[in-house]
A = this chain, B = another copy of it.
C-alpha cells in the first residue's frame, strides 16, 4: 500500500497548502507516512492516532529514523476514545482509512467524530470529499468463478451448483484472486453512475440515504453478470486532484498493482430477480439478459445503521414500474 506512490503524492499535494505552522491530527496513522509528510511540510505539531499496537511500534520507529520525534506524537488508541484540551485541538484533520468500499472501514464516522471533538471549528479535512460509483458489467470468465458452464462436465446437468451462487452480497475483487482490469472479456454494460457523495468537512452517517434507486440504460445486447463498485476521493471541490479505484485507472499505471492489491473494487453478482422469485429452491440464478437501450433500475441499500457498506438490486424498469413501489428514493 505504501507503494501506491500516486496516493502518497495526492496526500502530499492535498496537505501542502494547509499544514505549515498548523496543528495536524492523523486518524489511523498506520506506518506514520502522512504524519511524516505533515511534519516535513512544516506542521507545528502532529498527533498520530493509531489503534494497532504493531503499527504504533512501526510508526514510532519510522518517526525516529526520519528525525521527526520533536513534531509528531503517537497515541495508541481508537480516535473515538481520544480526548483533547481546547488548546490541543487541530487545524487540519488528515486520514487515509479508506477501504475497498470508500466508507467500508468506518472513515466517515471517525472523521465526523474527530471534526467535532478533536479539531477547531472549521478545521480543514483531507481528503475533502469523495463519491462512490457503480457500473454494470458483463464477463463470462467472471461468471465462471461461481457458476457452471454447460459444456464443462461431459454432458451432465450440474446446473444446481449455481443455487449456491451468492447474488445478494458484495465481494472484494482482491479476495477473489484476480485483478478486474486483467479479465480479457470484461464489457461495460452501462454508464458509471455516482450513487453516493460525501463532504468529509460536513457529512456524517445521517446524511446517507438508506435506499436509493437509479435509472440506467443497457449499452449493449448481452448478459449483465455483476455490478462493480469503485470510488473517487478528492482534495479540491473541482475534483482535479483525486485518487480513484476505477479499474481502468489502475491498468498499466506503475502504482496500479499496489492499489489493486490494497483496494480493488467491490463486486456483486447479478441475477434476474423477477424470474428468480418464480423458480424453485435449487434453481440457479437466472441470467440477466438485456437488449441495448433497455431501461434498468439499480437500487442501492446501505447497511443499517452504519451505512458504511451497501448491496445492490438490479431490475428491469418495465417490470418494476408496473408492480413495485419500493423503487423510490427514500433518502436525501
Give me the interface of A with B, judged by CB distance under 8 Å.
2-5, 8-9, 12, 31-33, 36-37, 40, 54, 58, 61-62, 65-66, 141, 144-145, 148-149, 151-154, 156-158, 160-161, 163-164, 173-179, 182, 255, 257-258, 260-261, 264, 282
Contact = CB atoms under 8 A, between A and B. Distances in A.
B282 A152 contact: no
A58 B2 contact: no
Q: Which 5 pairs from chain A and chain B are nearest by CB?
A: A174-B177, A5-B152, A2-B148, A3-B144, A61-B160
Given A40-B156, A54-B164, A177-B260, 10 more contacts: A2-B148, A2-B149, A3-B144, A3-B148, A8-B153, A33-B154, A58-B163, A175-B177, A176-B177, A178-B178
A156 to B, nearest CB: 5
A22 B177 CA distance: 40
Given A182-B182, A257-B144, A62 B177 contact: no
A159 to B, nearest CB: 8
A315 B60 CA distance: 32
Given A61-B282, A182-B179, A3 B149 contact: yes
A66 B177 contact: no
Contacts of A176: 177, 261
A156 B260 contact: no
Contacts of A148: 2-3
A111 to B, nearest CB: 23
A144 B151 CA distance: 39
Contacts of A154: 8-9, 12, 33, 36-37, 40
Chain B CB within 10 Å, residue with most, of A40, A161, A178, A261: A161
Chain B CB within 10 Å, residue with most, of A156, A178, A282: A156
Contacts of A163: 58
B152 A31 contact: no
A177 B153 CA distance: 27
Nearest to A68: B156
7 contacts: A31-B161, A33-B153, A58-B160, A66-B157, A145-B258, A176-B177, A182-B182
B261 A153 contact: no
A93 B181 CA distance: 42
A61 B9 CA distance: 56
A33 B161 CA distance: 11
A37 B141 CA distance: 25
A9 B151 CA distance: 11
Nearest to A256: B141
Contact of A3 (B36, B152, B257): B152
Given A54-B164, A173-B177, A2 B62 contact: no
Contacts of A61: 160, 282
Contacts of A3: 144, 148-149, 152
Contacts of A157: 62, 65-66
A188 to B, nearest CB: 20
A179 B154 CA distance: 27
Contacts of A145: 257-258, 261
A149 B33 CA distance: 13
